[in-house]
Amino acid sequence: MQHRHCRRMIAPTLGAALLAATLAPGVAGATETRAPSDARLAAAICDYQQESTDTAQSSPIDERYESDAQLREALGEPAGPEQAEGDVRWRAYENGRLYWTEEAGVHAVFGDILAKFLDGGGHQTYGVPMTDECEAQEGARYNHFTGTDATGRVSIYWRGGDAFALTGQIRQHWEASGWERGTYGFPTGDTTDIEGGKVNEFEGDDTFGANIYWSANSGAHGVKGKILETYLELGGPGGDLGFPTTDEKPWRGDGKRSNFQGGWITRNGSETDHGTW
């Protein structure tokens, strides 16, 4: 399985002009205002790791903030004191947040990704950031998060004004398939609970759409294009076919086939066929 570590220096995403005062808990009236986009604010090295220090005068968050001029410019001034909850530390700034744990180190979250992170429950839901905001293809941005026992590893991707959260085995399957460069393309929705499992929608590498489904009995598998179209017409996971048990695979020359708990769907060109076991 491939692991993605970005090393380019990037600017934060374009977020809303104002973020809610809850970005600085415990500080009355504190807000985080999104700074104008500026290439000079190329701030965060995505695989940054805090050097080991032993000082009573400053925290790891303060040490990184004070030692990284570009990051400091991108974050702006502190919007409140450093906060603590268990082994998690964070501090809110005008334009984002820094998070720290001993395991993950210090990492920055900005803009729409930060807003999505906080709307979803913040570190209590998604864990703490494992990377700073990183650059993907086509101008997209992302942060990886440690996740929790309930979510597994988490990634939040931003592209074209929308941010989506991918979690658990669906995220793991997408990673193993090549992230946004692979067969499923960019996410177009969040990992969502459905009856009996979960689903995440993607644009597909052929732009005809793709879904990755997960259930405890079937695991995580993707369905694409014309096979997905037929599958949904037949009721999707709630229909007779149930959840997919394989990814799309070659079948009889140029054809494709996906198997499901209750049957199969094949495609040759624009024609599809299906059956039950």
Is residue 6 over pLDDT 80?
Answer: no
pLDDT in tens, 151-163: 999 999 999 999 9
SS3 content of the chain, % helix, strand, coil (to 5): 20, 35, 40
Spell out the domain ranges in the chain.
111-276
Q: Quote the CA–CA distance of 100 and 79 in Å, as a whole number.
A: 17
CA distance 149 to 210: 27
Tokens of 257: 């086939």
Mean per-residue pLDDT, 103-127? 98
Nearest Cα residue to 136 out of 3, 8, 43, 2:
8
pLDDT, tens digit (0-9, with 9 covering 90-100), for 43-86:
444 655 555 444 456 899 999 999 999 999 999 999 999 999 99
3-class DSSP assignment, residue 164: strand
Q: Model confidence over 208-241: pLDDT tens digits?
A: 899 999 999 999 999 999 999 999 999 999 999 9
**Predicted local distance difference test score (pLDDT) of residue 206:** 82
Contact 57, 96 (CB under 8 A): no
